[in-house]
Amino acid sequence: MNKAIFLDRDGVLNHDPGDYTMSLEEFHILPGVLDALKRLHDAGYLLIIITNQAGISKGLYTHDTVREIHAYFTRVCKEAGIDITAIYYSPHHEAFGKSLTRKPGSLMIERGLARYNIDAKKSWMIGDKQRDLDAAAKADVRGILIDTNAPLKEVVDSLV
């Protein structure tokens, strides 16, 4: 079985401005993220992004915008020798209906576990909100809570 690092996006991989990252122009990879992801990748972890994107259901941006941002991020990672195994996002918001994909729901993590034959006990979720860790716990994945927009170096040092 594989091991994985599940990562929240906004505030962990890219700068979270406090509301929504609504365009590629607003998407800024945090300093040190590529180095941290490279170390995790080289240590044998699959890298899977798990992100709520409620701005879609609120009409602030579209699925196409999210796909454009993810394509850009995946390309930058690839150029740095990092494979992003998968990106799962939930376009839902509780004001517009319930969804098991939206964190703290665990369905996005469970999909990754099943699809990529991942051992939950050898895996971690890194997030900047309690809901990230709650989603991970529901899927029996351990969680690490970091401050929003904090460097990943110390977390990675503890995992590799």
Q: Report, as residue numbers or ranges, the catalytic residues.
A: 8, 10
Closest C-alpha to 9, from 23, 24, 25, 30: 30
- Our CA angle for 64, 66, 72, nearest 5°, is 100
Q: Hunting for tokens 């703290």 — which residue is that? A: 104
Q: Hunting for tokens 């860790």 — which residue is that? A: 133
How many CB atoms neighbour CB 98 within 10 A?
9
